[in-house]
Amino acid sequence: MSATLRACWALAVANGRITATDRKGRLIICLGYLLGMWLLYWLWQGLYQDDPQRAGLSFARALLHVVTAQTLFAIITTGADWRLAREIRSGEVASQLTQPMNLPLRHGALSLGVAGAKALYMLPAFGVFLLWSGLSLTPASWPLALLSVLCSFSLLYSLGFMVGLAGFLATDLWGITASKDAVVQFLGGALIPLAFFPPTIQAILTWLPFAHFFNTPVGYLTGELTSPQALYLQLAWVVVFWGLAQLAGRWVQRKLIVFGA
Amino acid sequence: MLIQAEKLNRIYQSPAAAQNWRERLQRLWRPQLITTHSVQDVSFTIAAGECVALVGPNGAGKSTTIKMLTGILAPSSGRVQVAGFDPQRQRREYVKHIGVVFGQRSQLWWDLPVQDSFRILQALFAVPEAVYQQQLTLFRREAGLDEFWLRPVRTLSLGQRMLCEIATSFLHAPAVVFLDEPTIGLDLEMKARMRGLIRRLNQQAGTTVLITSHDVGDIEQLSQRMLLIDQGQLKFDGSLPAFQAHAGDGNWWAARLAGDLQAAHALLAGHPSGLAVRIQDEWLQVARHDSLPFAELLQLLAPFAIHEIKPVAQSLEELLHRFYLTSKAERL
């Protein structure tokens, strides 16, 4: 294992442990999550009351899509934006420059730790909900599905990292992060499946990064997607977003080093 | 030389405050910037194994200088080289060879036990296990880390935390360690332990240490040399005795007399040695010099009934304080 990977692993495990050791917080999050899923169940049942098929989807398939996407959102939303903004405002980001690690990679490792810990306690709750609602995940290929989830994490993390740079401009990120979350959830297929959008919009969202935040990984997890084509496109966006995050990291460094912000 | 700083300059530009709405509108298009010279033409060299104190009043430019040396701030002009590296251009490789403690920042993980923070830093700095164990044995012996080794960092006292911070800065056996206000807010016992640890690491491992502090004890007990910065300029570079000779007004005899102080003053002022004489409160003070031996002084003052006589040595704190005040007065 290379030194960089070992350092990333150490950071991820440390941050994961901190996230996982909050027992009361864990319990509250799981209960809140189950309540949210239960509400979604009744909401979507209400939507399907008059018609068993909408946008080519049955109630079971639409519900499975939405709850899987919401679970994914809950797990891979790791607060990278808030963390970076806080470090920028407190000046902690400058002292991190005295450690031999790339800034986006450091935050990526920290976020991965949070996502791993959240997966450990939220996936059992997701399993409980699937059992209760009689739904199940049937991916055509688990490796493709898991790779797509990893890409989705990478996209969302890179976006969060870039949004966190707003810490240089604003003291409160709430408005910015809330807008970001609303856009990625709505246009990414986490609030409603993209099948509900007009075909032209669907095509545009598929070529743009939006569909790859949630629609693509959920498609692989539920078995809606079987060919690796969507994953190739998702990977291409991961490369673009990671490149942008690296540029943003360099910008932060330049701003700190040159302007002493 | 391990550290070379050559004509370092750091300039900050900040927008000037507008006085009225008209100025505010004008500055939307044409911002008016105020230029501040935080560090001006600072040059010095530090040899390997030295322990040097960087001192100066608040806002003098000490932290800016440390930041430029650690690579987290680029000089506006001038050149820095530390251990053969350009701190800004070769930052990722360079930071593996230095240790840094900023008194107000932490390298430790708040919610994890101390030992885990050390393990994370071992991974970040790719410290080989043998070196890690060797350093750890030294820290445990010198700083008594065992007392709180398994406790989460958040439960440590400020002193215990600072001991850990200093130990972590030496963990990867760096060539040079920069300590910015490491003893701020610590009690006497903790300061002594901290100084002991720094001294031992400086002397045993030969690690070069550059320390900034407002605590004169840190300067006197740790450093052999002092760099004094004021208004962004290097005002003094030399040993502590050299500073005392440079900034002090020498040593004095102080006598408390029962007799007429003014008459005694006049008598000594007329002495052929021509030494300086002054009255401070109820004390008559005369400069100490071989031209007026102590026995002769006693003889001269005997008619004035000496109550008490003592040598007066100026403390470093007193000298620094006077130096800062003089400098401030000159500025005004």
CATH number at residue B302: 3.30.70
Whether B330 is covered by a domain: the verdict is no
Is residue B241 located within the same domain as residue B253? no
> Do B9 and B138 belong to one domain?
yes
Give yes or no for B98 touching A (CB within 8 A): yes
The verdict on B223 and B279 lying in the same domain is no
A115 pLDDT band (50/70/90 cuts)? Answer: very high
Q: Are residues B199 and B131 in the same domain?
A: yes
From the list A17, A166, A182, A170, the residue with the least C-alpha distance to A81 is A166
**CB distance A163 to A177 below 8 Å:** yes
Q: What is the pLDDT of residue A89?
A: 83
CA-nearest of B141, B201, B194, B197 to B176 is B201
pLDDT tens-place string over residues A128-138: 999 999 999 99
**Residue B276 and residue B211 in one domain:** no
- B119 and A10 in contact by Cβ < 8 A? yes
Chain A residue closest to B94 (CA)?
Answer: A100
The structure tokens listed for A151 are: 């890409």
Q: Distance of CA B90 to CAs A36, B75, B173, B327, Å?
A: 50, 14, 19, 37
Q: Residue B289's pLDDT is what?
A: 79
Residue B136 domain flag? yes
Residue A255 confidence (pLDDT) above 90: no
Last residue of a domain, one of B217, B246, B275: B246
Q: For residues B75 and B162, state if they share a domain.
A: yes
B187 plus B203 within the same structural domain = yes
| Pair B237, B277 in one domain | no
Is the confidence at residue A261, as pLDDT, over 60? Answer: no
Give the domain extent around B298: 249-313
Domain boundary among B226, B246, B266: B246
Residue B318, in any domain of the structure: no
Tens digit of pLDDT for each residue in B64-118? 999 999 998 889 999 999 999 999 889 989 999 999 998 778 899 999 999 999 9
Using the Cβ of B73 and the Cβ atoms of chain A, whether some distance falls under 8 Å is answered with yes
Domain count of the fold of chain B = 2
Residue B327 lies in a domain: no
Q: Is B325 within a domain?
A: no
How large is the average pLDDT for residues A69-94? Answer: 90
**Residue B204: inside a domain, yes or no?**
yes
What is the rounded average pLDDT of the residues A53-57? 92
In a domain, B158, yes or no: yes
Identify the residue among A19, A90, A98, A99 best suited for mutation to test binding to B, counting B beta carbons within 10 A and taking the highest.
Answer: A98
Mean pLDDT by 10 residues, chain B (332 residues): 94 84 84 88 95 92 92 92 93 93 87 95 95 91 88 92 92 94 84 88 90 90 92 91 76 88 91 84 85 89 91 81 78 65
Say how far apart CA B37 and CA B261 lie, in whole Å: 49
The shortest CB-CB distance from A95 to any of B102, B116, B120 is to B102
* Residues in contact with B192: Cβ distance below 8 Å, sequence separation at least 6, in sequence order: none
Whether ipTM exceeds 0.90: no
Total number of residues shown for chain B: 332
pLDDT(A143) > 60: yes
Please list every residue in chain A whose beta carbon sits closer than 8 Å to the beta carbon of residue B125.
Answer: 99-100
Let me know whether B89 and B173 are in one domain: yes
Identify the three-state secondary structure at position B54: strand
Asked whether residue B24 falls in the same domain as residue B162, the answer is: yes
Looking at the structure, tell me whether residues B124 and B238 fall in a common domain: yes
Q: Is residue B269 domain-shared with residue B131, that is, in the same domain?
A: no
Task: Work out the average pLDDT over A181-199.
Answer: 94
The whole-angstrom separation of Cα A6 and Cα B119 is 11
Residue B191 lies in a domain: yes
| Element of type H or E holding B234 | strand B233-239
Contact list, A14 vs chain B (CB under 8 Å): 109, 112, 116, 120
CA atoms within 13 A on the CB side of B37: 13
Domain's final residue, options B246, B263, B281: B246
A98 contacts: CB under 8 Å, gap ≥ 6: B70, B71, B72, B95, B98, B100
Strands laid side by side in the B283-287 sheet: B277-280, B283-287, B252-257, B306-312
Angle at A88 between CA A82 and CA A91, to 5 degrees: 135
